[in-house]
Chains A and B, each alone.
Chain A
Amino acid sequence: MPRWHRVKQSFFNGERLVDSFPRLADAFVLDIKIFLWTTPAIVITALLIAVARNTRNPALFPLRLFVIGYTDVMRGVPVILWIYLIGFGVPGVGLERPWNSPLLWGSVALGLTYSAYVAEVFRAGIESVHESQRAAARSLGLSSGQTMRHVVLPQALRRVVPPLMNDLVSLQKDVALVSLIGPIEILRQAGIDKAKFANFTPYIGAAILFLVITIPLTRTTDWLLARERQRTTATRIR
């Protein structure tokens, strides 16, 4: 690889990494903030959508129709496009500060799209709980709401933790897309540093910072799930 030293110079430059790292870390705080305030909103919205979709009362048909339409539309358009449309579009109607912040509406766009994806994860979990569990709960006199809350959801949520984490890891990275409408978060900061020093190493720094968050996140969930399984089931088959 004759050009390896050139690649090393522009991507793995230790000096550049050390120099830009503090700025990247600073900018990364914004990514974490966006992640932290969108995640609970996404999980709650998605849960409401999934439960609404699973209602069986004929009178709630319009509600089901609405949430089906919502998930179809939100998932059918690229996330980046929603960020542009909502992030530029909503403040464009003439909102006053602080309500015209692209950061706010970029986060909203992220939240709305991801809640549609996550709702499908929850729905799969809810539908995976066998009908006989509902029958047992209803036969004991529990209402359909109590059955959902105490019997179906606890089982459904445990089952969907891995795919849910998958979506959250994905969200944690897509937060960087908000930079495209203005806010200076890590990807944008890395771009600024790259341009300033004509060197790509800041991107490597950004990648490292993402991994520092995502890897412990997934490992911890795996560990929690394994512990739960050990507690509730008999000996595992080897």
Chain B
Amino acid sequence: MSTKLSLKNVSKAFGNNRVLNDISIDIGAGEVISFIGASGSGKTTLLRCINLLEPIDAGSIHLEDLEITKIGRDPNPIRRRIGIVFQSFNLFPHMTVERNITLALTKVLGIEKDSAIDQANSLLDRFGLGDKSKTYPDQLSGGQQQRVAITRALALNPEVLLLDEITSALDPELVGEVLDVVRELKGSGITLLFATHEMAFAREISDRVCFLSAGTIAEEGPPQQIFSHPKDERTQRFLQRVIGSGRLSD
């Protein structure tokens, strides 16, 4: 498996608060990798740095051979290759579902309007949203909105997709439909990085799990190892708390 994404000694601070502390990791093409850890451990910031929404303070991030964090590099061509889905969906409320998806297709990729609409609708069909293309985001359920957001990110055909706690804002009964979409993506060749609190899901779908603690990768490995035989004391404590709260059932 060739390396798709590579983080080398990445650090990031907000003021005096060091959120990411010397993080290094190589992620293979097509790999599905989850980041778990307590709130504030740096999961979201890590993903936002990879999408270049947050500038890093030290280290570098590489997409294949390209150093994407190089100063002065235009972020826009890179963002076409690395998509992100946010916890709070962030759909554009003044646009129909269809327009949410075609906006970047027409304005960024320069695709003709008609063919962008066709593309959008065939993607929406694929995720069971075919009848929603003319509705506005506020008229959809949270689960549907998040599926639209995933569709919007996928429309650009990114090589890497970052999923930032995409089910955290959803009612429990809506989580399943969103996770089904992610399940469908696995094995399609896309590299998936996700931050999550859904431990059962992380265990089921990940090739590799990273446990983040205070901005460092405290432990990483295959899901069986992390969830059943964690070596690091911090991982053990975290998982105990999570199991205690009923979020990891098995």
Q: Is the CB of A141 within 8 A of B77?
A: yes
Residues from chain A with a CB closer than 8 A to the CB of B138 are 232-234
Residue in A143, A150, A151, A233 whose beta carbon sits within 8 Å of that of B76 in the complex: A143
Q: Is the CB of B104 within 8 A of A133?
A: no
Chain A contact residue count (CB 8 A cutoff): 21
Residues from chain B with a CB closer than 8 A to the CB of A232 are 93-94, 136, 138-139
Min CB distance A224 to B, Å, is 14
Q: Is the CB of A158 within 8 A of B94?
A: yes
Chain B, 80-112, CB within 8 A of any chain A CB: 80, 83-84, 86, 88, 90-94, 103-104, 107-108
Give the nearest-CB partner of B91 in chain A: A136
Residues from chain A with a CB closer than 8 A to the CB of B94 are 154-155, 158, 232
| A220 interfacial by beta-carbon distance below 8 Å | no
Over the window 48-75 of chain A, the binary record of Cβ atoms lying under 8 Å from chain B Cβ atoms (1 yes, 0 no) is: 0000000000000000000000000000
Bound complex: CA A133 to CA B86 (Å): 11
Q: Is the CB of A150 within 8 A of B107?
A: yes
Q: Is the CB of B136 within 8 A of A140?
A: no
Chain A, 98-157, CB within 8 A of any chain B CB: 132-133, 135-143, 146, 150-151, 154-155
- CB within 8 Å for A139 and B53 given contacts A146-B107, A150-B107, A155-B94: yes
Residues from chain B with a CB closer than 8 A to the CB of A133 are 90, 92
Residue in B53, B136, B153, B156 whose beta carbon sits within 8 Å of that of A138 in the complex: B53
Min CB distance A102 to B, Å, is 43
| B62 interfacial by beta-carbon distance below 8 Å | no
Residues from chain A with a CB closer than 8 A to the CB of B108 are 140-142, 146
Chain B, 187-239, CB within 8 A of any chain A CB: none
Chain B, 112-154, CB within 8 A of any chain A CB: 136, 138-139, 152-153
| B69 interfacial by beta-carbon distance below 8 Å | no
Bound complex: CA A140 to CA B51 (Å): 10
Bound complex: CA A151 to CA B100 (Å): 10
| A196 interfacial by beta-carbon distance below 8 Å | no
Q: Is the CB of A141 within 8 A of B76?
A: yes
Kindly state the interface size class of chain B when it binds its partner. Answer: 20 to 34
Min CB distance B203 to A, Å, is 28
Q: Is the CB of A138 within 8 A of B107?
A: no
Q: Is the CB of A135 within 8 A of B79?
A: no
Q: Is the CB of B104 within 8 A of A140?
A: yes
The binding surface of chain A is classed by DSSP as helix
Bound complex: CA A138 to CA B48 (Å): 12
Over the window 170-201 of chain A, the binary record of Cβ atoms lying under 8 Å from chain B Cβ atoms (1 yes, 0 no) is: 00000000000000000000000000000000
Give the nearest-CB partner of A143 in chain B: B76
Residues from chain A with a CB closer than 8 A to the CB of B152 are 140
Q: Is the CB of B104 within 8 A of A142?
A: yes
Give the nearest-CB partner of B101 in chain A: A140
- CB within 8 Å for A151 and B88 given contacts A141-B76, A142-B107: no
Min CB distance B31 to A, Å, is 21
Bound complex: CA A132 to CA B108 (Å): 19
Min CB distance A50 to B, Å, is 18
Residues from chain A with a CB closer than 8 A to the CB of B75 are 138
Residues from chain A with a CB closer than 8 A to the CB of B90 are 132-133, 135-136
Q: Is the CB of B104 within 8 A of A155?
A: no
Bound complex: CA A143 to CA B78 (Å): 12
Q: Is the CB of B92 within 8 A of A139?
A: no
- Which of A146, A150, A233 is most buried by chain B, counting CB atoms within 10 A of its CB? A150
- CB within 8 Å for A151 and B92 given contacts A140-B103, A140-B152: yes
The 8 closest A-B pairs by CB, nearest first: A136-B90, A140-B104, A141-B108, A232-B136, A141-B80, A141-B79, A233-B138, A139-B84
In the assembled complex, 17 residue pairs joining A and B whose CB atoms fall closer than 8 Å, in A order, are: A132-B88, A135-B86, A136-B90, A138-B79, A139-B53, A139-B79, A140-B152, A141-B108, A141-B156, A142-B103, A146-B107, A150-B103, A150-B107, A151-B103, A232-B93, A232-B136, A233-B138
Extra pairs beyond A140-B104, A141-B77, A150-B107 (12, CB < 8 Å): A135-B48, A136-B90, A139-B83, A141-B76, A141-B104, A151-B103, A154-B94, A231-B136, A232-B139, A233-B136, A234-B138, A234-B139
Point out residues on B near A: beta carbons under 8 Å.
Answer: 48, 51, 53, 75-77, 79-80, 83-84, 86, 88, 90-94, 103-104, 107-108, 136, 138-139, 152-153, 156
